[in-house]
Structure 1
């Protein structure tokens, strides 16, 4: 993993070097509204409840449409005799390389999944609303809500993100990079609240779970390096940048994994999941445990990183 360093000159070729100000901060009431919906569906939003997943997909589609997405699309595919779907909303110019930002909307087992991954979906929808307010975007941004990220489909070709990444590759779509939004709302300021895959890392990154992280593998390409630097500069909350071998537990535990399979540079934006949140994949993963203010700050930084644009 890496610590702070002097940015390389090449880091400035994708994102501009000027600091940007937040024109329209994220609305925490809207974030909460999305989370209330996601955590109170009639049955848990897992693969065993196809109707619930379809209703969530429809909710996300309505949110992207209301935000002013230039294009809306669904990407249905069949698994075990059932039909599941990704939902895609595009913002900015129709042509040219695009930035992919995605979050999965399914949960693992019978739990509400407030942090995992209600916060990622809520952030995606709020980012959509903020992008829709911009007169002009520097490049195309595709916001993608994935299905079937969780077990028993994790690390299989049935993951919604695998289906989406494969479709981009097959169509020869130019991609600037990809950002996976995975658990962004749980924070704990107490000493010892943050754990790591390798214990000595706490002496480098601290033992308080009060930050978000941009995680990526070694050899992830220029986009990952640039995004991490820009996001940290734009954030009004602590940000740690992690870079490690892909085999380190947690580095590839989300949808960005599938973009790596196809040669795309991709990063994970997260509150570190089970390394901090003891309610990971538990029925106690509820809205009451989340920090809306800091979730909003994470979205603000993401918006400003997107708006910085390429030179």
Structure 2
């Protein structure tokens, strides 16, 4: 009888502690997959030619940010070619002081599902929001921003959602600690010869296996970029490469972080290296089935460890 009672007490303690253990877990790969399923199964592709679809995605992102516990969720609408498009913003942590911007674009290029580009960036952003909402305190304000119109024909124009957001920060005199762009984080390949580079000899430095995440930044990006890259690499349980290059090197500015550079804010790109690895970039084969949820989750875990120490 005594042993039976002891066994029941142990079982009861496990049942009562299970919720608290779950709260301390990292990224949820099932949630990441659910976000990606929503993003890749819209009635029409989520491109600029289907503003109603983009509105549906923006509304989904706003609901997820509210559910995560963002203390402020708002849309940032603007007009392009007679249509209204919108960024979606969710804020965590204290209101005062310099803020950290973490962003990902939710539109796609052309008629393709865009699972890795950039469904994985958005899914990572939403899972990070959920994890941030569970933190008892945050040392500074963190703004999560889902951008519209990153893709052609608007890339490198003032119609990019990230340009609109960065310009608004600058106009309002908002102090910014730095910015992190999440761009394609879910495709990995452990085979040799699967990783490519803008300059071929770089493979002798960084390797030919497409099995890592990279933190990319330009020369002269300041202390924020150095610290973020170092801390992310230290926190990650998957391989991380730190890549620093001139701004003119192809690919170094191929995402939303380029617009923060334009306004003088330090910014980095967190990515699986996009088309230098994923040959389904901007193709109809960029599907959920090709992605690695486990490593996408690990990328989110490391990001949380850096921004919410």
TM range (shorter): over 0.9
> 2:271: which partner in 1?
270
Partners of 2:38 and 2:218 in 1: CA distance: 34
Partners of 1:73 and 1:35 in 2: CA distance: 22
Q: Is residue 98 from structure 1 mapped to residue 107 from structure 2 by the alignment? A: no
Partners of 1:258 and 1:222 in 2: CA distance: 18
Shift of 1:44: 0.1
> 1:256: which partner in 2?
257
Q: Is residue 135 from structure 1 mapped to residue 136 from structure 2 by the alignment? A: yes
Shift of 1:283: 0.1
> 1:294: which partner in 2?
295
**CA deviation map 1:80-121 (0-9, x unaligned):** 000000000000001111000000000000000000000000
> 2:42: which partner in 1?
41
> 1:186: which partner in 2?
187
Shift of 1:307: 1.3
How many residues matched? 287
Partners of 1:171 and 1:237 in 2: CA distance: 38
Shift of 1:24: 2.7
Partners of 1:307 and 1:130 in 2: CA distance: 9
Contact 1:235 1:297 in 2 (8 A): yes
- 3-state SS in 2 of match to 1:112: coil
Which runs of structure 1 show a deviation greater than 3 angstroms over 4 or more consecutive aligned residues?
Answer: none
- 3-state SS in 2 of match to 1:299: helix
> 2:10: which partner in 1?
none
Partners of 1:277 and 1:93 in 2: CA distance: 38
Partners of 1:161 and 1:167 in 2: CA distance: 10
> 2:20: which partner in 1?
none
> 1:171: which partner in 2?
172
Contact 1:24 1:130 in 2 (8 A): no
Partners of 1:223 and 1:24 in 2: CA distance: 27
Shift of 1:268: 0.2
Shift of 1:23: 3.7
In angstroms, what is the RMSD of aligned CA positions? 0.7
Partners of 1:95 and 1:24 in 2: CA distance: 29
- 3-state SS in 2 of match to 1:111: coil
Partners of 2:165 and 2:38 in 1: CA distance: 25
TM-score, with length taken from structure 1 = 0.92
Contact 1:27 1:126 in 2 (8 A): yes
Instruction: Indicate the structure whose relative CO is greater, using CA pairs within 8 Å and at least 6 residues apart.
Output: 1
Contact 1:75 1:86 in 2 (8 A): yes
Instruction: Kindly report which structure 2 residues correspond to 1:97-246, keeping only aligned pairs within 5 A, or say none.
Output: 97-246=98-247
Partners of 1:268 and 1:23 in 2: CA distance: 27
Partners of 1:179 and 1:110 in 2: CA distance: 27
Gaps in structure 2 of 5+ consecutive residues: 1-22
Partners of 1:217 and 1:23 in 2: CA distance: 35
Partners of 2:37 and 2:112 in 1: CA distance: 14
TM-score, with length taken from structure 2 = 0.92
